[in-house]
Amino acid sequence: MNQCDWINELNTDGYTYVSPNHWDERLSVLRSLILEGAGCEESVSLEEIHHHISPQDINTKRLKVISTINSDQAKLDWLLEPLAPFITKLIGPDCVRQKRVNLVMHLPQDETSIIPNHSDVLTGNSSFEVTCWIPLTKCHIENTMHLFPYKKGEKAYLMPKENEVVLFKHFLKHGNSLNTTNAARVSLNIRFKSLFSPENKKSLLDYFQIWKMSEFTRIGLNEWKNED
């Protein structure tokens, strides 16, 4: 898909798929961090992680994994770097990113993993943000996230190919249903917005941090700081 196609698709449907460069290398580091955070052997497949985590431990393990992934912000920036050409093309050169990446472990037959349909705009994110949804396991219709595209309105299931990530807009309603497969679905999500776009309830300084900045803006901010 060329650059214009994915941007058109995002603007028309509210979501699209992109293939970042060097993404397989990043995925393997992310998978290792998740296993490390969950206290699992390196050889465990993420699809099988539910055999290594009891349902009552899932929330504690989930928090540990999130903390492991977010503990080294320089490493996280390196992990996210292949997304930069897409995000800056979409929202401009001055970008903030969500400070902490979120994790979803959607375990087979686990009712507590169900996320009801919602729009992130209604939970405090602004419609100027874009979410990057990063699958770490193969997605099946029965265990993936669904959303309701602008154009068609009916439910669509996210089915990215290997090494693809999903970009979607915050206004779209999304959620998931009971995972009726035997495989866990593990995915990450992180939000980006322009440094100069309006906020909703998630404030710029608490929820985000500067990710990319043009030299022009950097100089401008320094001059602005020294104006008085």
For the record, the structure tokens of 102 come out as 């979120």
Nearer to Fe ion, 121 or 184 (CB): 121
Query: Distance of alpha carbon 134 from its chain centroid, rounded?
Result: 5
For the record, the structure tokens of 12 come out as 């028309």
Is 179 within 8 Å of 185 (Cβ atoms)?
yes
Q: Tell which positions 197-216 bind Fe ion, by CB under 5 A.
A: none
Instruction: Report in angstroms how near the CB of residue 158 gets to Fe ion at its nearest.
Output: 12
DSSP state for residue 104 in the 8-state scheme: E
Residue 183 phi, psi dihedral angles, 5° rounding: -110, 135
Residues in the chain: 228
Query: Distance of alpha carbon 30 from its chain centroid, rounded?
Result: 12
Instruction: Report in angstroms how near the CB of residue 174 gets to Fe ion at its nearest.
Output: 6
Instruction: Report in angstroms how near the CB of residue 9 gets to Fe ion at its nearest.
Output: 20
Return the sign of the alpha-carbon dihedral for residues 48, 53, 56, 59.
negative
Q: Is 120 in the site for Fe ion (CB under 5 A)?
A: yes
Instruction: Report in angstroms how near the CB of residue 119 gets to Fe ion at its nearest.
Output: 8
Q: Which stretch binds Fe ion (CB under 5 A): 54-62, 119-127, 198-206, 211-219?
A: 119-127
Q: Which stretch binds Fe ion (CB under 5 A): 19-27, 95-103, 113-121, 137-145?
A: 113-121
Instruction: Report in angstroms how near the CB of residue 189 gets to Fe ion at its nearest.
Output: 7
Q: Which stretch binds Fe ion (CB under 5 A): 44-52, 114-122, 154-162, 214-222?
A: 114-122
For 9-23, b/e burial (b = at least 16 CB within 10 A) is: bbeebbbbbbebeeb
Q: How many residues bind Fe ion (CB under 5 A)?
A: 1
Nearer to Fe ion, 47 or 120 (CB): 120
Nearer to Fe ion, 35 or 156 (CB): 156
Residues lying near Fe ion in the complex (CB under 5 A): 120
